[in-house]
Amino acid sequence: MTAEYKVHGDVAVVTMNNPPVNGLGYATRTAITDGLNKANADPAVKAIVITGAGKAFSGGADIKEFGSPKATAEPNLLSVILACENSAKPIVAAIHSVAMGGGLELSLGCHYRIAAPGANIALPEVKLGLIPGAGGTMRLPRVLGVEPALNMIVSGEPVKSEMLAQLPGQKLFDKMASSPEALLEEAIAFARSVADTRPLPLVRNLPSKHPMGDAYFQFARNMVKGMAKNFPAPAKCVDAVEASTKKKFDEGMAYEREIFTALMFTPESRALRHLFMAERAASKIADVPDDTKQREIKKVAVIGAGTMGGGISMNFLNAGIPVTILEMKQEAIDRGLATIRKNYEGQVKKGKLKQDKYEQRMALLKPTLSYEEIGDADLVIEAVFEEMGVKETVFKKLDEVMKKGAILASNTSTLDLDKIASFTKRPEDVVGLHFFSPANVMKLLEVVRGKKTGKDVLATVMALAKKIKKTAVVSGVTDGFIGNRMIEQYSRQAGFLLDEGATPQQVDRAIERFGFAMGPFRMGDLAGNDIGWAIRKRRAAERPDMKYSRTADKLCELGRFGQKTGAGWYDYQAGKRDAIPSKLVEDMVAEHRKSLGIEPRRISDEEIVQRLVFALVNEGARILEEGIAARASDIDMVYITGYGFPIHRGGPMLYADQVGLFNVVQAMKRFQANPRDDAKFWEPAPLLMKLASEGKTFS
Ligand code: NAI
């Protein structure tokens, strides 16, 4: 049963019951129409109420059925809405908590609507690269007016029921209930009061118009163009709402459907729907069931108040969790605290944070120089220098002082977590929490699962990640984890491109046009080119067979570490971040090419993009094959939330799927044949070869 049927005197109540949000899956849709048929056939019933059990009226389409034939099987949502409109007896939608997407569209097919205060009302389809597909663009303008309706449809953002009820002339709600608790009773009474009203009012019969007509829609189009560069859906929302003012209702409905169907097949919508599912999938760990008992995290300690330690602490302060931050010297503590304060003060100045909230947060932060003061923390996160020796000292000390059951986490970005865990007598309590810089801003958190990390520890940190508003993705132990291991291949390829004839600005421009927030060279200048230099030095000892372009080392030998030294791949004016192409770098690269005997060639932007992105894809395939990432979509989440990969492409793995894995392998073979490139680099990963030859995809 996904909807219950109950008769209260002369009013039948159909209650959708498909937790968690009464998604309108096949079974729910069938149960609603069964209920309507029953009510219409029962002479004792005079009116009908539709409502939702639990936490929602209805959240819309059932995500469990996304992409399956059940999603559109009859009765599909349009048919259910039609059944509502055609009911001989009045139907009242009793809305509370959440009415979104198809849920709101269903209510718009009912004759009357009564809403509880505090309900979130939205048509969020645009966030999946779509427009509402069951009459939302035709009916919402008729009840709210064109402008408020279009705002809701283009933004996809929820608006509170009581706000909508205040719009002049609105016909969305016939009545507001006095409270969520009183909703059902008041809806039944309202249904009784309209039981004999005929003809029954239908939203489709209301007019949709804007006093400024075409001029308004032109204005709306211009606004939307600036907002959504890479996405077609917002402009299509304008088209559909405009059609509500120009076409007959049923023609408008057909037009909406046409747009909806076309958008379903766009790569942009596919990318957004993929990421929507990917985010949910990433929070699941196959062998860690949802009901795994979690540890309680009431107090956090952070070791190291440097770049990362400060930002990491802020995440917990923002969530109201007290933090004790430990350093070796008073000066370091003072510096760390000053940075945190400056950061919050900046937010206060911009009006993003209230002064009292800032003070509350700072009051939760306690600095210390003594390990004795952190022993009772439930979670300690180490963010000290990236040297195994330092990590060893710290973890041995933590093993001594931390209470039993505390989680010991490391923010290491390259070191072996299993080795770090082995410094303690409780490796089951050790986990990697790899935050990204700036740690208080970046969404991504790689949760590094060591060989012995406890399942309850994983369950706890995954839940905690949600609490501090991070997107957590689990990675196995490997050098660089998911993100940095892949980016290393991308950077190597960027170097080879320079050797062959490209300039840093050409490479950056090509990949930025593809949609990356920043190209590899601008990124290097921002993060500090010395970081990669240190890694390459280590690599030279560990893997002397790994080929690199020497240009990046030469750059560092010139002291050009990036923005922090005022010069890197680009020149920078004092106090400014604008990247100015550098003659000196151009000459250095040309000199290097000459020493290799390379005659530069013009490389197309398309080749640049393919070489950079497929470098990510190939390493991603290896990571997947080794089980370092559980799913291809986890890799996409890492790249979207941590590395500025363009959202409308859905992540490197989905992008490869959309290009077609066969074509990806073909391109790699072409690159392999290029004597200037590294043939070994382009050896397709076995998993990629296998999927390509079977005509399959990563997802
Ligand atoms: P940092 O050099 O800015 O800060 C390290 C802090 O640790 C310094 O303030 C230092 O005084 C303190 N420290 C060193 N040894 C200590 C000890 N034994 N006890 C207490 N405090 C000690 O370094 P950063 O950038 O914050 O990096 C910290 C960790 O985070 C490293 O493992 C790094 O690999 C990792 N990481 C860094 C990222 C970045 O973008 N900077 C990104 C992700 C991870």
Q: What is the pLDDT of residues 297-335, one digit of tens each?
A: 999 999 999 999 999 999 999 999 999 999 999 999 999
**Domain 3-264, CATH number (from 3.30.2320.80, 3.40.630.30, 3.40.718.10, 3.90.226.10):** 3.90.226.10
Preceding peptide of 20 cis, ω within 30°: yes
pLDDT of 257 reads 97
pLDDT of 227 reads 80
Q: How far is the CA of 552 from the centre of ligand 1 (A)?
A: 24
Judge if 3-264 and 483-693 fold alike in CATH terms. Answer: no
Residue 182 has pLDDT above 90, yes or no: yes
Testing ligand 1's pocket by substitution, the residue of 308, 337, 368, 481 carrying the most ligand atoms inside 8 A of its CB is: 308
Q: Say whether 242 is catalytic.
A: no
Verify whether ligand 1 is closer than 6 Å to residue 603 (CB atom): no
C-alpha to C-alpha distance for 287 and 462, rounded to whole angstroms: 14
Mean pLDDT in residue range 464-470: 98
- SS3 state at 435: strand
Contacts of 185 (CB under 8 A, 6+ apart): none
Verify whether ligand 1 is closer than 6 Å to residue 313 (CB atom): no
Nearest to 650 by CA among 636, 660, 661, 664: 636
Q: How far is the CA of 386 from the centre of ligand 1 (A)?
A: 6
Beta bridge partners of 641: none
Mean pLDDT in residue range 537-559: 90
Chain segment 600-622, per-residue pLDDT in tens? 999 999 999 999 999 999 999 99
Mean pLDDT in residue range 414-436: 97
State the sign of the Cα–Cα–Cα–Cα dihedral 535, 539, 540, 546.
negative
Residues present in the chain in total = 699
Residue 525 has pLDDT above 80, yes or no: yes
Verify whether ligand 1 is closer than 6 Å to residue 480 (CB atom): no
Verify whether ligand 1 is closer than 6 Å to residue 412 (CB atom): yes
pLDDT of 344 reads 97
Average pLDDT, the chain: 96
Half-sphere exposure of 490 (CA within 13 A, CB side): 28
Contacts of 581 (CB under 8 A, 6+ apart): 503, 504, 505, 570, 571
Verify whether ligand 1 is closer than 6 Å to residue 328 (CB atom): yes
Mean pLDDT in residue range 41-53: 98
- Protein residue closest via CA to atom 44 of ligand 1: 413
End-to-end distance of the chain based on CA atoms, in angstroms?
A: 32
| Interface predicted TM-score (ipTM) over 0.90 | yes
Chain segment 253-305, per-residue pLDDT in tens? 999 999 999 999 999 999 999 999 999 999 999 999 999 999 999 999 999 99
Mean pLDDT in residue range 36-62: 97
Q: How far is the CA of 384 from the centre of ligand 1 (A)?
A: 3
C-alpha to C-alpha distance for 45 and 50, rounded to whole angstroms: 14
Chain segment 510-519, per-residue pLDDT in tens? 999 999 999 9
pLDDT of 544 reads 84
In terms of C-beta density within 10 A (0-12 exposed, 13-18 middle, 19 or more buried), how is residue 582 classed? buried
Mean pLDDT in residue range 523-544: 88
Domain boundaries, the chain: 3-264, 300-475, 483-693
Contacts of 309 (CB under 8 A, 6+ apart): 302, 303, 325, 336, 381, 383
Q: How far is the CA of 387 from the centre of ligand 1 (A)?
A: 9
Fold of 483-693: N-(1-d-carboxylethyl)-l-norvaline Dehydrogenase; domain 2 (1.10.1040)
Mean pLDDT in residue range 93-98: 98
pLDDT of 211 reads 92
pLDDT of 463 reads 97
Residue 1 has pLDDT above 80, yes or no: no
pLDDT of 495 reads 96
Q: How far is the CA of 553 from the centre of ligand 1 (A)?
A: 23
**Domain 300-475, CATH number (from 1.10.10.10, 3.40.50.300, 3.90.1150.60, 3.40.50.720):** 3.40.50.720
Q: What are phi and psi of 475, to 5 degrees?
A: -125, 145
Verify whether ligand 1 is closer than 6 Å to residue 384 (CB atom): yes
Of the chain, the percentage scoring pLDDT greater than 90 comes to: 92
Indicate the pTM of the whole model: 0.92
Q: Say whether 607 is catalytic.
A: no
Verify whether ligand 1 is closer than 6 Å to residue 652 (CB atom): no
Verify whether ligand 1 is closer than 6 Å to residue 383 (CB atom): yes
Chain segment 26-35, per-residue pLDDT in tens? 999 999 999 9
Nearest to 614 by CA among 669, 543, 690, 674: 669
Verify whether ligand 1 is closer than 6 Å to residue 699 (CB atom): no
More confident residue, 541 or 277: 277
Testing ligand 1's pocket by substitution, the residue of 384, 387, 398 carrying the most ligand atoms inside 8 A of its CB is: 384
The region of weakest confidence among 86-100, 170-184, 226-240, 643-657 is 226-240
pLDDT of 471 reads 97
Verify whether ligand 1 is closer than 6 Å to residue 312 (CB atom): no
Half-sphere exposure of 511 (CA within 13 A, CB side): 31
Residue 413 has pLDDT above 80, yes or no: yes
pLDDT of 375 reads 97
Q: How far is the CA of 317 from the centre of ligand 1 (A)?
A: 19
Contacts of 389 (CB under 8 A, 6+ apart): none
Q: How far is the CA of 305 from the centre of ligand 1 (A)?
A: 7
Q: Which of the four pLDDT bands, split at 50, 70 and 90, describes residue 540? A: confident
Mean pLDDT in residue range 2-21: 97
pLDDT of 679 reads 85
Q: Which of the four pLDDT bands, split at 50, 70 and 90, describes residue 639? A: very high
Verify whether ligand 1 is closer than 6 Å to residue 662 (CB atom): no
* Number of Cβ within a 10 Å radius of residue 224: 19
The region of weakest confidence among 69-83, 379-393, 468-482, 666-680 is 666-680
Testing ligand 1's pocket by substitution, the residue of 337, 413, 433 carrying the most ligand atoms inside 8 A of its CB is: 413
Residue 476 has pLDDT above 80, yes or no: yes
Q: What is the dihedral of CA 495, 500, 506, 509, to 10 degrees?
A: -50
Retrieve residue 373's tokens: 């003061």
Residue 536 has pLDDT above 90, yes or no: no
Q: Which of the four pLDDT bands, split at 50, 70 and 90, describes residue 563? A: very high
Q: Which of the four pLDDT bands, split at 50, 70 and 90, describes residue 422? A: very high
Q: How far is the CA of 409 from the centre of ligand 1 (A)?
A: 13
Catalytic residue among 125, 279, 488, 607: 125
Residue 542 has pLDDT above 90, yes or no: no
Q: Give CA separation, 316 vs 230, 345, 400, 495, in Å.
A: 34, 17, 24, 39
- Protein residue closest via CA to atom 16 of ligand 1: 384
C-alpha to C-alpha distance for 259 and 138, rounded to whole angstroms: 13
